[in-house]
Amino acid sequence: MTDDGSPAGGAPRRRPLATGEKSTIVYGILGVLLVLLVAQLWLLTATTNAWLGGDDSVVLPAAVASLACLGLNVGLLLYLFRLE
């Protein structure tokens, strides 16, 4: 056995994160989530404005971008679940 408790020659065992460390990670994830949310809100208002004015050309790219933001958000949430 090594000092960190892992078997000799094996990969070092990961120390479980303390609540304070997890809170820091959650803070970081929350920051990114909020930035993505603001970007999505802006996209939705700008697209609605263009669509009401009869401009359909931006609707598809905006929908793709919004779905990409949602994908990132879901990915961050899944990472958060893995921290448990």
> Quick check: 55 binds other proteins (CB under 8 A)?
yes
Contact in structure between 44 and 66 (CB atoms under 8 Å): yes
The string of DSSP codes covering 14-81 is PPPPPHHHHHHHHHHHHHHHHHHHHHHHHHHHHHHHHHHTT--TTHHHHHHHHHHHHHHHHHHHHHHH
> Quick check: 35 binds other proteins (CB under 8 A)?
no
> Quick check: 53 binds other proteins (CB under 8 A)?
yes
Please identify, using beta-carbon distances, which residue of 12 and 37 lies nearer to other proteins: 37
For residue 82, the SS3 value is: helix
Please identify, using beta-carbon distances, which residue of 6 and 48 lies nearer to other proteins: 48
Binding site for other proteins (CB under 8 A): 19-20, 22-23, 26-27, 29-30, 33-34, 36-37, 40-41, 43-44, 47-49, 51-57, 59-60, 62-63, 66-67, 69-70, 73-74, 76-77, 80
